[in-house]
């Protein structure tokens, strides 16, 4: 018994290995390639492109009227900012805990971010949001549901209403997730989703923008680069809405290809089932890690119907040196933890301090403090539930060996 406890556990699988594209997706992609019709506007008179069908299916899935497809979520966020009317120099409120394409989109739109603190539960600090909405006079709030943690959307909507904020949601980590039965991405004026390899649907790259606002939809389609063929879109507003913008909206050429749309269409019907598989893995890890006194895991709100494709926890009682050693030892045993405390931006993690292309006002002491001890790892579906339990046991073992306070 005690011998077994002393055994050093190790994990062998890779954290970046995805499941294959479903065979139906491979078949339809092959079929499409045989026709050569990879461009979304390469259609005969009564033919509807894969990309247009996807837009309709995705809008129906989320419960919005319109959808426009992009080459990435970063592009979709950028276009969303432009389409809701963000002008150069305008202030955009945004939670500081997010991924680099989000500040990148703000920069691309020539806007000025006003970063909001996060809480110890990795959620936007809504008191700080209120304070900064009032102090900055900003008209826009870009809310990034970072790593799938969804803040109290009832209160967000109430704050947006009170301060007349236009809400844009970054749902790169919440495709399939809901707040109180309503899909993320349908709360804001615009919602943006990613189908990049590490998100909930894998088409390599890809972005989907949803909205109920006819003007925002028309502008987004024009920005995406419709070559004035927007009539061919299924999930679009009436043609007269486009008339208002055709000569004033540039073509940024950020379209999705039919090949990408085909891959997404083959995965969309499985999304809710995949979400359950992710959550099963998350909960298996959570159950084990909760018994470790140095590990803090946020308790999720009952209304938060998350899709946990990654796991986050905070290490408590560790010094920075111990933290580094902990990450190193976990890595030696095959558990690749990403650490947001790293000062240098590294493999899909970066912190607000390293976005030096932005001029930022004020510090974010609370956020910095949370990030310093924030551990993060992916949960690819190529891991079994048993794999996940082993990962959790390794983390516990390394914790127990470390002499934390």
- Indicate whether 74 belongs to the interface with ligand PLP (CB under 6 A): yes
Shorter beta-carbon distance to ligand PLP: residue 36 or 347: 347
Shortest approach of ligand PLP to residue 239 CB, angstroms?
29
**Selection from 306, 326, 298 nearest residue 379 by Cα:** 306
List the beta bridge partners of residue 374: 314
- Indicate whether 80 belongs to the interface with ligand PLP (CB under 6 A): no
Question: Are the beta carbons of 25 and 202 closer than 8 angstroms?
Answer: no
Would you state the structure tokens that stand for residue 46, as one six-digit string?
């009564």
- Indicate whether 73 belongs to the interface with ligand PLP (CB under 6 A): yes
Shortest approach of ligand PLP to residue 144 CB, angstroms?
5
Helices 271-289 and 385-401, interaxial angle, to 10°?
A: 30
**Look-up of token digits 């556990």:** 9
Residues whose CB is less than 8 angstroms from the CB of residue 247 and which lie 6 or more positions away in sequence, other chains included = none
- Indicate whether 146 belongs to the interface with ligand PLP (CB under 6 A): yes
Question: Are the beta carbons of 397 and 9 closer than 8 angstroms?
Answer: yes
**Look-up of token digits 């495709």:** 175
- Indicate whether 367 belongs to the interface with ligand PLP (CB under 6 A): no
**Selection from 184, 226, 286 nearest residue 79 by Cα:** 226
The region of 155-163, 170-178, 273-281, 286-294 touching ligand PLP under the rule CB under 6 A is: 170-178
- Indicate whether 194 belongs to the interface with ligand PLP (CB under 6 A): yes
- Indicate whether 312 belongs to the interface with ligand PLP (CB under 6 A): no
Among 102, 235, 264, 327, binds ligand PLP (CB under 6 A): 102
Among 170, 213, 286, 376, binds ligand PLP (CB under 6 A): 170
How many CB atoms are closer than 10 A to CB 247? 7
The region of 70-78, 149-157, 255-263, 381-389 touching ligand PLP under the rule CB under 6 A is: 70-78
Q: Which chain residues interact with ligand PLP by CB under 6 A?
A: 72-74, 98-99, 101-102, 144, 146, 170, 172-173, 194, 196, 207
């Amino acid at each position: 018994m005690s011998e077994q406890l002393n055994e050093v556990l190790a994990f062998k699988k890779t954290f970046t290995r995805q499941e294959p594209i479903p065979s139906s997706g491979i078949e339809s992609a092959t079929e499409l390639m045989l026709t050569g019709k990879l461009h979304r506007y390469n259609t005969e008179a009564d033919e509807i492109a894969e990309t247009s069908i996807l837009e309709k299916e995705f809008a129906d899935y989320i419960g919005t009227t319109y959808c426009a497809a992009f080459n990435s979520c970063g592009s979709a966020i950028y276009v969303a900012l432009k389409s809701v009317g963000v002008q150069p120099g305008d202030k955009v409120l945004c939670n500081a805990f997010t991924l680099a394409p989000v500040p990148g989109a703000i920069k691309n739109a020539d806007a000025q971010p006003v970063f909001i603190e996060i809480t110890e539960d990795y959620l936007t600090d809504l008191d700080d949001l209120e304070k900064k909405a009032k102090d900055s006079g900003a008209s826009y709030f870009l809310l990034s549901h970072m790593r799938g943690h969804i803040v109290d959307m009832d209160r967000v909507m109430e704050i947006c209403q009170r301060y007349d904020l236009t809400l844009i949601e970054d749902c790169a980590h919440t495709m399939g997730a809901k707040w109180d039965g309503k899909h993320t991405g349908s709360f804001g004026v615009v919602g943006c989703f990613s189908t990049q390899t590490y998100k909930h649907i894998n088409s390599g790259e890809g972005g989907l923008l949803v909205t109920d606002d006819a003007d925002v939809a028309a502008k987004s389609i024009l920005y995406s680069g419709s070559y004035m063929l927007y009539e061919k879109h299924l999930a679009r507003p009436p043609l007269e809405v486009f008339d208002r913008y055709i000569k004033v909206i540039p073509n940024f050429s950020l379209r999705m290809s039919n090949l990408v749309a085909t891959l997404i269409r083959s995965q969309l019907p499985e999304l809710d089932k995949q979400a359950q598989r992710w959550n099963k893995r998350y909960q298996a890890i959570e159950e084990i890690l909760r018994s470790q006194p140095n590990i803090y895991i946020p308790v999720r709100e009952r209304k938060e119907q998350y899709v946990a494709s990654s796991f986050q926890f905070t290490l408590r009682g560790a010094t920075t040196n111990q933290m580094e050693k902990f990450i190193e030892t976990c890595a030696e045993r095959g558990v690749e933890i990403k650490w947001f405390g790293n000062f240098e931006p590294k493999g899909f993690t970066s912190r607000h301090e390293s976005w030096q292309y932005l001029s930022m006002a004020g510090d974010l002491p609370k956020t910095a403090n949370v990030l310093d001890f924030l551990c993060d790892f992916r949960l690819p579906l190529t891991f079994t539930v048993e794999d996940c339990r082993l990962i959790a046991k390794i983390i516990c073992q390394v914790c127990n060996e470390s002499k934390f306070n």
